[in-house]
Amino acid sequence: MATVNSSLIGANLNASDSTALFALGTIADATDGSRYQYVEATSTLITGALVLIIPTGTAKVLTTAQLTGGSQGQVIAAAQAQINQSEFGWVAMQGRNLYVLCSGTVTALASGGAAFSTNSGRLQNAAACAVGTTALGIWITTSASVATASVARATLTFPRSVQPLS
């Protein structure tokens, strides 16, 4: 797990807080090239869940319905530890060896890529997803292969969705 190397005294990337310890939107740089953002969870975020960070600093579980032109410019990140609803914590925007939640079979280092699943906050094999849900900036490094939610490891480099031009 990454360790903070920014000058943020008391920042714990693996814990949630019932009261805000930092300003929402605070960025923490960490080991493994990781970058985290401090958010308030609008619902319980489980480990690996992909979230959409709203400009106000709140994070909600990512759904494909949110992947519209209106969501462009919002940050996609992955919860690295559970953050309960209305609590505060850190979500990973980039880095290596990070947790991502998956559905179905997602193969490590696959050239076909991953896409955002219709299941909230999850990835799945790109071939199994609808047009407009392709996930860029997420490179799966360990496979996941169960029908229900499972956690895989990945490298994140500014995760985003590709929207087809109309």
The answer to whether residues 41 and 85 belong to one domain is: yes
Q: Which of 97, 129, 149 is the endpoint of a domain? A: 97
Same domain for 111 and 87? no
Domains held by the chain: number: 2
Instruction: Note down the domain range covering 68.
Output: 27-97
Is residue 35 assigned to a domain? yes
Could you tell me if residue 22 is inside a domain? Answer: no
Task: Give pTM, 2 decimals.
Answer: 0.84
Residue 102 has pLDDT above 70, yes or no: yes
38 and 90 together in one domain? yes
Asked if residue 89 and residue 55 are part of one domain, the reply reads yes
Residue 57 has what pLDDT?
92
Residue 122 to residue 12: CA distance in whole angstroms = 24
Query: Is 55 inside any structural domain?
Result: yes
**Residue 149 counted as domain residue:** yes
pLDDT tens for 10-43 read 889 999 999 999 999 999 998 888 999 999 999 9
Whether 103 and 144 map to the same domain: the answer is yes
State the pLDDT at residue 74.
72
3-state secondary structure of 69: helix
Q: What is the pLDDT of residues 48-82, one digit of tens each?
A: 999 999 889 999 998 877 766 555 557 889 999 99
Model pLDDT, residue 163: 56
- Asked if residue 93 and residue 45 are part of one domain, the reply reads yes
Predicted local confidence at residue 139, as pLDDT: 81
- On whether both 82 and 105 belong to a single domain, the answer is no
Higher pLDDT, 15 or 5: 15
Q: Provide Rg for the chain, Cα atoms.
A: 15
pLDDT of res. 165: 42
pLDDT in tens, 107-166: 777 656 677 777 678 887 776 666 556 677 788 888 777 666 688 888 888 787 665 444
Among 62, 80, 97, the domain-final residue is 97
